[in-house]
Amino acid sequence: MKNGKAVTIRDVAKAAGVSVATVSSVLNNRSQTRISAETRERVLKVVKELGYRPRKVAQGLRKGLTYLIGLAIPLQPDQPLSPFFYEAVSGALKVAKERGWMVSILGFKDRDEELSILQKAVNQRLVDGVILFDPQENDPRFPVLKGNLPFVVIGRTDDPEICTVDNDNVEAAKLATQHLIRLGHKRIAFVHVPLSYFTAKDRLEGYKQALKEAGLPFRKELLVEADGYYGVEAGYRAMLSLLERLKERPTAVLAMDDTLALGCIQAAAEKGLKVPTDLAVVGFNGSAFSAHCEPPLTTVRIFAETLAYYAVDMLLRLVRGEVVAPSRVTVPTQLIVRKSCGTMR
Amino acid sequence: MKNGKAVTIRDVAKAAGVSVATVSSVLNNRSQTRISAETRERVLKVVKELGYRPRKVAQGLRKGLTYLIGLAIPLQPDQPLSPFFYEAVSGALKVAKERGWMVSILGFKDRDEELSILQKAVNQRLVDGVILFDPQENDPRFPVLKGNLPFVVIGRTDDPEICTVDNDNVEAAKLATQHLIRLGHKRIAFVHVPLSYFTAKDRLEGYKQALKEAGLPFRKELLVEADGYYGVEAGYRAMLSLLERLKERPTAVLAMDDTLALGCIQAAAEKGLKVPTDLAVVGFNGSAFSAHCEPPLTTVRIFAETLAYYAVDMLLRLVRGEVVAPSRVTVPTQLIVRKSCGTMR
DNA sequence: CTGAAAGCGCTTACAG
DNA sequence: CTGAAAGCGCTTACAG
Instruction: Judge if B250 and B103 occupy the same domain.
Output: no
Name residues 173-192 of chain B within 8 A of A (Cβ): none
Whether B49 shows a pLDDT value over 50: the answer reads yes
Condensed to tens digits (0 to 9), the pLDDT of residues B290-317 reads: 888 889 999 999 999 999 999 999 999 9
Instruction: Judge if A157 and A208 occupy the same domain.
Output: no
Instruction: Judge if B126 and B205 occupy the same domain.
Output: no
Instruction: Judge if B196 and B280 occupy the same domain.
Output: yes
- Angle (CA) A277 A282 A287, round 5°: 125
Distance in angstroms, CA of A106 to C1' of C8?
26
Q: How many CB atoms are closer than 10 A to CB A33?
A: 12
Say how far apart CA B260 and CA A280 lie, in whole Å.
28
Instruction: Judge if B150 and B267 occupy the same domain.
Output: no
Give all strands (DSSP E) within B271-317, no chain letters. 280-285, 298-301
Instruction: Judge if B87 and B146 occupy the same domain.
Output: yes
Instruction: Judge if A282 and A308 occupy the same domain.
Output: no
Per DSSP, the residues of B176-191 read HHHHHHHTT---EEEE
Chain C nucleotides close to protein (CB under 7 A) are 1-5, 7-14
Domain that holds residue A14: 9-54
Q: How many A-B residue pairs are in contact by the CB < 8 A criterion?
A: 139
Give domain status of residue A60, yes or no.
no
Say whether A103 and B105 touch across the interface (CB within 8 A): yes
Say how far apart CA A104 and CA B56 lie, in whole Å.
14
Whether B80 shows a pLDDT value over 90: the answer reads no
Say how far apart CA B280 and CA A92 lie, in whole Å.
40
Give domain status of residue B61, yes or no.
no
Give domain status of residue B62, yes or no.
no
Q: How many CB atoms are closer than 10 A to CB B51?
A: 12
DSSP state at residue A257: S
Selection from B189, B178, B172 nearest residue B280 by Cα: B189
Average pLDDT of span A223-252? 93
Phi, psi of A303 (to 5 degrees): -90, 80
Chain B residue at shortest CA distance from A231? B288
Whether A3 shows a pLDDT value over 80: the answer reads no
Give domain status of residue B324, yes or no.
yes
CATH at A33:
1.10.260.40
Least confident segment among A27-41, A176-190, B95-109, B188-202? A27-41
Say how far apart CA A327 and CA B305 lie, in whole Å.
38
Say how far apart CA A339 and CA A8 lie, in whole Å.
61
Give domain status of residue A219, yes or no.
yes
Whether B143 shows a pLDDT value over 90: the answer reads yes
In the sheet with A298-301, reading across from the earlier edge strand, the strands are A223-225, A188-192, A252-255, A280-285, A298-301, A334-336
Say how far apart CA A74 and CA A174 lie, in whole Å.
28
Give domain status of residue A194, yes or no.
yes
Give me the residue from A53, A266, A287 closest to B80, CB to CB: A287
Question: Residues, chain A, total?
Answer: 345
Residue A1: band (very low, low, confident or very high) from pLDDT cuts 50, 70, 90: very low
Selection from B4, A215, A80, B27 nearest residue B18 by Cα: B27
CATH at A235:
3.40.50.2300
Instruction: Judge if A177 and A118 occupy the same domain.
Output: no
Phi, psi of B337 (to 5 degrees): -90, 120
Say how far apart CA B118 and CA B125 lie, in whole Å.
10
**Residue B259 near residue B230, CB atoms below 8 Å:** yes
* Structural domain total, chain A: 3
C-alpha pair distances (Å), B37 with each of B13, B40, B44, B128: 16, 5, 10, 35
| Burial status of residue A293 (CB atoms within 10 A of its CB: 0-12, 13-18, 19 or more) | buried
- The whole-chain average pLDDT of chain A stands at 92
Residue A76: band (very low, low, confident or very high) from pLDDT cuts 50, 70, 90: confident
Instruction: Judge if B98 and B50 occupy the same domain.
Output: no
Chain A residue at shortest CA distance from B126? A56
Angle between helices B198-213 and B169-182 (to 10 degrees): 40
Say how far apart CA A342 and CA B10 lie, in whole Å.
68
Whether A2 shows a pLDDT value over 50: the answer reads no
Residue A287: band (very low, low, confident or very high) from pLDDT cuts 50, 70, 90: confident
Chain D nucleotides close to protein (CB under 7 A) are 1-5, 7-14
- The whole-chain average pLDDT of chain B stands at 92
Residue B34: band (very low, low, confident or very high) from pLDDT cuts 50, 70, 90: confident
Instruction: Judge if B118 and B190 occupy the same domain.
Output: no
C-alpha pair distances (Å), A232 with each of A112, A172, A190: 24, 22, 15
**Residue A69 near residue A92, CB atoms below 8 Å:** yes
Cβ-Cβ contacts under 8 Å, B61 against chain A: 57-58, 61
Selection from B181, B175, B167, B185 nearest residue B335 by Cα: B175
Give domain status of residue A118, yes or no.
yes
Whether B36 shows a pLDDT value over 90: the answer reads no
**Residue B258 near residue B84, CB atoms below 8 Å:** no
Give domain status of residue A253, yes or no.
yes
Instruction: Judge if A311 and A163 occupy the same domain.
Output: yes
Instruction: Judge if A292 and A313 occupy the same domain.
Output: no
Whether A251 shows a pLDDT value over 50: the answer reads yes
C-alpha pair distances (Å), A247 with each of A224, A270, B17, B180, B212: 15, 17, 74, 45, 59
Say how far apart CA B23 and CA B26 lie, in whole Å.
5
- Closest-approach nucleotide to residue B25, Cα vs C1': C11
Whether A81 shows a pLDDT value over 80: the answer reads no
Helix count and strand count (H, E) for chain A: 12, 12
Residue B183: band (very low, low, confident or very high) from pLDDT cuts 50, 70, 90: very high
- Closest-approach nucleotide to residue A16, Cα vs C1': C2
Say whether A148 and B1 touch across the interface (CB within 8 A): yes
